[in-house]
Amino acid sequence: MTPSLTLTVEPYQIPAGFWDYPFTYIFDASGLTDGSNYVNNELSLIFQGDSDFVLRHIMGLKNVLDTFANGGRWSFRTPNKNYAIGRPNLLAGPTKHHAVLPEYRYDSNGTIFFDLQTVLRRARVGTNYVSQIAFAGVKRYPLPSWLGDTRYPYRELPYSFPYTLALNFAATASARPQYVDVNQYDFLLQNIFITQVGATGGLATDDFQILLYDAWNRQTSSVPQNQSFVNACRLAPQTPATYDACFPTPALLYPAGSRIRFDIINRLNITTNSYQILFNGTWRIPK
């Protein structure tokens, strides 16, 4: 007789006395040298020091490394400085998206060390590099939260705020702020869809970088990040989004009367493209 297996699934629980805030630390590899190796703690990403950081997934390695066949390898260190993937002489090949299981919690004053072997940076056009590595997860703060909650009894209704982005400005390092007014009711932002006007499916190329703020004007990433890191729109009906983005997680609340602010950096040399951005979530309608 074949023994049966019972799998018990329990909801993720934030430790008592804490709350989580969606956040991504970005490493900009544009200053590295193609063909070079960076090992033995040569590369690191220092945290901002305001909270512990829980690392859950890593994106963008294929924008920074050569192929596995050509020697592209990488690994990162856990909070106790051990290699999370492979050994110093046997690192992993570049992947599109690396899920960190189990998640790692780094102290507020900690650092992520990582190795890159056979660097090959990618640019959208010319030297407009999109060679970023995203270390995504949550900042973990002690209670109370500054975000608060909806202060009235409500029912939820799916809703999307549309925004048409015109890249009618030059490709520079300076970010341009954009705003969407949240009217009528509180809004819980759960994901973001980005498409190019006139095209079908989600935007596959990193034509721009984006930095989202919460309703209290706090950043959700250390710098503007490639749009593909936050874009949850499928590339085609049978093709998932580039990184299967689940951003922001947890969802962000924007009270009625607030604004969704996001900064944009153009990575193209042309300034005529337009894009549709959908901020998807739920309205909290008073009962």
**pTM for the full model?**
0.93
CATH topology of domain 18-142: Jelly Rolls (2.60.120)
Q: DSSP assignment of 166-181, as one string?
A: E--S---SS-EEEEEE
Res. 88: pLDDT tops 60: no
Q: What is the DSSP letter of 105?
A: E
pLDDT attached to residue 89: 60
> Which of 162, 245, 170 minimizes the C-alpha distance to 208?
170
Give the tens place of pLDDT for each residue, 92-102: 777 778 999 89
Is residue 188 predicted with pLDDT exceeding 80?
Answer: yes
Query: What are the pLDDT digits (tens) for 67-82?
Result: 999 999 999 999 998 9
Largest CA distance in the chain: 69
Taking only the tens place, the pLDDT of each residue in 104-138 is: 999 999 999 999 999 999 999 999 999 999 999 99
Helical H segments across 5-161, by residue range: none
Q: Where are the alpha helices (DSSP H) in the chain?
A: none
Count CB-CB contacts under 10 A for residue 201.
14
CA angle 282, 53, 72 (to 5 degrees): 100
* Residue 97: per-residue pLDDT: 85
Q: Judge whether 37 and 120 are in contact, CB under 8 Å.
A: no
Q: Side chain identity at 182, as an amino acid letter?
A: V
Please identify which residue in the block is written with the tokens 């999109």.
130
Dihedrals φ, ψ of 183, to 5°? -105, 165
Report domain extents, the chain.
18-142, 154-286
Please state the length of the chain.
287
pLDDT band at 161; cut points 50, 70, 90: very high
Domains 18-142 and 154-286 share a fold: yes
For residues 38 and 116, the answer to whether their CB atoms sit within 8 Å is: yes
Task: Please return the burial class of 249, using the count of CB atoms within 10 Å of its CB with bins 0-12, 13-18 and 19+.
Answer: middle
Q: Which CATH class is domain 154-286?
A: mainly beta
Mean per-residue pLDDT for 27-41?
94
What local confidence, expressed as pLDDT, does residue 281 receive? 98
